[in-house]
Amino acid sequence: MPVLTIEAIRQNPWNVLTHELPADPGELLLTAARLAATYCRDGEFLLATAARDGGYVPAWWDDTDATPDAHEESEQLSYRADDVLSEISELLAVEIEEPAG
């Protein structure tokens, strides 16, 4: 698994979910990672809610039994980002804000 850096976050905030924190992350990296994880969690929470309400249809979804509910992918990504956010917030000793929306 690649190691998370500030540059990796700048390239793609979603890297916070696919890259591993270094053994001794600095406060700046943790703060940037916390912001990225919050962005990912809140964005996917918004999309999951919109999909449930019929206001968002993912590109991969079709109206058959072959695909899961339209909100499931966003819901899973939101939960994963929330887990990462919890880990980072614990390292920073800060409270986690509720999802926006």
* Confidence (pTM): 0.86
* Short-list 23, 94, 68, 21, CA closest to 6: 21
Classify residue 61 as left (phi > 0), alpha (psi -120 to 50) or beta.
beta
* pLDDT (0 to 100) of residue 86: 94
Buried-state track 47-66, b at ≥16 Cβ within 10 A, e below 16: bbbbbeeeebeeeebeeeee
- Tens of each residue's pLDDT in the chain, 101 residues: 999 999 999 999 999 999 999 999 999 999 999 999 999 999 999 999 998 898 888 887 777 766 667 788 889 999 999 999 999 999 998 876 666 55
| Ranges of each domain in the chain | 6-57+67-92
The predicted structure's pLDDT at residue 16: 98
pLDDT at 60: 75
Inter-residue long-range contacts of 12-21, CB under 8 Å, 24+ positions, other chains counted: 13/39, 13/40, 14/40, 16/40, 16/81, 16/84, 16/88, 17/77, 17/80, 17/81, 17/84, 21/87, 21/88, 21/91
